[in-house]
Amino acid sequence: MSGRFIICETCGRVTSGSSGLQARTSPSEGAPSGMGGRGGSRPSRKAIKGAAPGRRKQASAPPPPAEIQRRMALRQLSGDDAPRRLIVRKKEQRKAAFALVIVALILFTPVQDPLVDGLEDSFGNLLDLVTPSTTHPLEASYTLRSTYEYEFGPSSSDSGFMYKLPIPQSERTAAGFSDILATKTDGGTIPAPVLQRVVSMKVGSGAAVVDVPLTGGVVRDSSSAITLEDGYSQVFWPAPGGTGSEDCQYGRCLIWSGAIPQSSSIESALLNVEYEIESYSYTWWTEADLPSSVTG
C-alpha cells in the first residue's frame, strides 16, 4: 500500500475516493514533458457519478433448505422429477413428430386418396352453393312471336298488299342443315347433333290459329288460300321455285296478301306469327363426371 494513495492489492486500482481520481487525471512525477496536453499536462475529464467504491451487485440469495425440500416434495407428488422447462420441450417435440407423421401419411401413402377425394367433394359442394352449375346438354323450350302490320287510309279506293314470310326448316344441326357432321376415312359418317328444332308455326290476324306445315312437299296455292279473321287478308304457301308474284323464288315461304277497303280513316291489317322452338346446348369436354347423355 502506498503512503500517499490507497491501492487495491487485488486489481491494482486506486480506491482513495476523490484523491484517487485526482491521481488518475494528473500527470505522475517524472513523466516526460511531451506527454499529455499542452504544457506537459493531461487534459482533465469529468468524472461520472456511479456506485460507491467497493460495492458490487450481488446475486439473490438461494432459497432456504426448507423451501428446497418443499419444492422437491411437490415434484415427487406430481410423479415427475424433471424440470418444467424440460417437460414443455418434450411436449413440443412430441407434437412436431406427430405432425410430421400425419404429413408423411397424407403425402406418401395410399391413405391420401380418400382424404383428397373427400376434400374435392367438399369443395365441389361449396362451389355448387356459391356458383351456378351447368349440366349438359341444356334444353330450352320457348315461343317466338312476331307481328306484321300494314296500314292504309284514309282513301277513296281499295289498297292491295302482299308480304312473303320464309318458312323455317324444322331442324338446325351443328353442321348447318345437314344431318352429317363429318365423314370417316372408312366411309362411315358421324351424325350431327340437333341444336334447334322448330316444333310448330302458326299464323292469324288475331290469335294464331292457322297451322303452317314445316315439312316439304305440302303445298297450298292461292286458289285455296285461307281467309283470316279480319275478312280482307289471306295466307297460302305455294311450292318453291317460279318467278311470278305469287311464287316463292328462294325456298318455302308463306304469302300474306289482301286488300284494305276504302275508308275515311286509317285502317290496318295484322298478321301474328308464333313459333314453338326447342333448343339444345352441348359440351365436348371429356370430364369423367359429366352425364352420360352428353353428345361428343
The dihedrals phi and psi of 74, each to the nearest 5 degrees, come to -65, -40
Q: Is 39 helix (H, G, I), strand (E, B) or coil?
A: helix
Query: Which residues, listed in sequence order, are joined to residue 240 by a DSSP beta bridge?
Result: 248
Pick from 296, 225, 279: nearest CA to 257: 225
Share of the chain above pLDDT 70, in %: 67
38 or 280, which is more confident: 280
pLDDT at 34: 46
Q: Which pLDDT tens digit goes with each residue over 4-16?
A: 556 676 676 666 6
17 or 60, which is more confident: 60
On whether the CB atoms of residues 196 and 171 are closer than 8 A, the answer is yes
Residue 109 corresponds to which cell in the numbers above?
401413402
Q: What Cα–Cα distance (Å) separates residue 65 from each residue in 61, 71, 208? A: 12, 10, 112
Crossing angle of helices 112-130 and 84-108, in 10° steps, is 80
On whether the CB atoms of residues 283 and 296 are closer than 8 A, the answer is yes
Residue with cell 314470310: 165
pLDDT at 152: 84
Q: What is the distance, to the nearest Å, from the Cα of residue 215 to the centroid of all Cα atoms in its chain? A: 47
On whether the CB atoms of residues 236 and 165 are closer than 8 A, the answer is no
On whether the CB atoms of residues 275 and 201 are closer than 8 A, the answer is yes
Q: Which pLDDT tens digit goes with each residue over 73-129?
A: 777 766 555 556 666 677 788 888 888 887 777 777 776 677 677 777 787 777 777
Q: What angle do CA 285, 289, 293 make, to 5 degrees?
A: 70
Query: Which residues, listed in sequence order, are joined to residue 141 by a DSSP beta bridge?
Result: 278
Q: What is the distance, to the nearest Å, from the Cα of residue 77 to the centroid of all Cα atoms in its chain? A: 59
Q: Which pLDDT tens digit goes with each residue over 233-284?
A: 999 999 998 778 888 888 899 999 999 888 888 888 899 999 999 998 876 5
Domain segments of the chain as ranges: 82-130, 138-281
On whether the CB atoms of residues 188 and 277 are closer than 8 A, the answer is no
Query: Would the CA dihedral through 16, 21, 22, 23 be positive or negative?
Result: positive
Residue with cell 339444345: 280
Residue 295, amino acid: T
Q: Is 19 helix (H, G, I), strand (E, B) or coil?
A: helix
Statement: residue 210 has pLDDT above 60: yes
Share of the chain above pLDDT 90, in %: 24
